[in-house]
Amino acid sequence: MLRFVPGLLAIFCLAGCEKQSGEAVVLAKEHIAAAPPPIRETPNAQHVANPNEQPRPIGDNEITVDGYVMKPEVRGTSRDPRALKDEQWRVKVRMIYDGRTFNI
């Protein structure tokens, strides 16, 4: 059994990942500040899902970004719902050869 391990490892190394490269156009760049450390909740606090909850309409002072609803002044700050524990740069690009658009 142990003599098959190096062979399997070699197969996975050769066929594991294929690097794709190409030219892309940057459509947008956005900085998101690091989120503050989470606040500890009390152990008894639990949210009970209500089956009658309905999605509410987006308010006049709210925007939708990447599927998140937020106020415009919160976008890019540490209060942004997309913020992580580390700061991040989100870059939206479009590949030239096939037109795919994605965030990096």
Residue 29, in any domain of the structure: yes
Is the pLDDT score of 1 beyond 70? no
| Predicted local distance difference test score (pLDDT) of residue 104 | 85
CA quadruple 83, 80, 55, 91: dihedral positive or negative? negative
Residue 40, in any domain of the structure: no
Residue 68, in any domain of the structure: yes
Q: Quick check: 31 and 75 in contact, CB under 8 A? A: no
Residue 93, in any domain of the structure: yes
Q: Which domain holds residue 81?
A: 22-35+59-104
Count: domains in the chain: 1
Residue 96, in any domain of the structure: yes
Using DSSP, state whether 13 is helix, strand or coil: helix
Residue 19 backbone phi and psi in degrees, to 5: -75, 130
Q: Please give the Cα distance from 43 to 27 (Å, whole number).
A: 44
Residue 8, in any domain of the structure: no
| Predicted local distance difference test score (pLDDT) of residue 27 | 95
Q: Please give the Cα distance from 94 to 26 (Å, whole number).
A: 7
Residue 80, in any domain of the structure: yes
| Predicted local distance difference test score (pLDDT) of residue 39 | 81
Structure confidence by residue, pLDDT tens digits, 11-53: 766 665 666 788 999 999 999 999 998 887 666 666 677 778 8
DSSP string, 28-78: EEEEEPPPPPPPPPPTT--PPPPTT--PPPPPTT-EEETTEEE-GGGTTST
Residue 86, in any domain of the structure: yes
Structure confidence by residue, pLDDT tens digits, 57-99: 999 999 999 889 999 999 999 999 999 999 999 999 999 999 9
| Predicted local distance difference test score (pLDDT) of residue 6 | 72
Tokens (6 digits) for 100? 């795919």
| Predicted local distance difference test score (pLDDT) of residue 55 | 83
